[in-house]
Amino acid sequence: MRKSLHDTETIDRYLLERMPAAEAEDFRVRMLIDADLAEQVRWQRRAHNLVRLEGLFGRLMSDAAFRRQIDTIFTH
């Protein structure tokens, strides 16, 4: 994996809490002294949140009652 993907993977493990406690502590310290890393973490967290929202939208819109409620808004 190229370096940026490796960094992305490390950030993911931190955000998903799949990092051993000691490594997570080191990572938090790195974020304090590396503003770029802290910024990447912030945007990656936002990307995770957006994916959750997109997933939820898909699930809710496949529920007939919810879909009807929303369709009514856009057809009247």
Could you list the residues that contact other proteins (CB under 8 A)? 1, 4-5, 8-9, 12, 40, 43-58, 60, 66, 69-70, 73-74
Q: Residue 16 CB, nearest distance to other proteins (Å)?
A: 8
Instruction: Compare residues 34 and 43 and give the one whose CB is closer to other proteins.
Output: 43
What minimum distance in Å lies between the beta carbon of 34 and other proteins? 17
Nearest-10 crossing angle of helices 35-61, 21-33:
120
Nearer to other proteins, 15 or 24 (CB): 15
- Tell me whether residue 22 or residue 73 sits nearer to other proteins (CB atom): 73
The DSSP code sequence of 5-70 is: HHHHHHHHHHHTT-S-HHHHHHHHHHHHH-HHHHHHHHHHHHHHHHHHHHHHHHHHHTSHHHHHHH
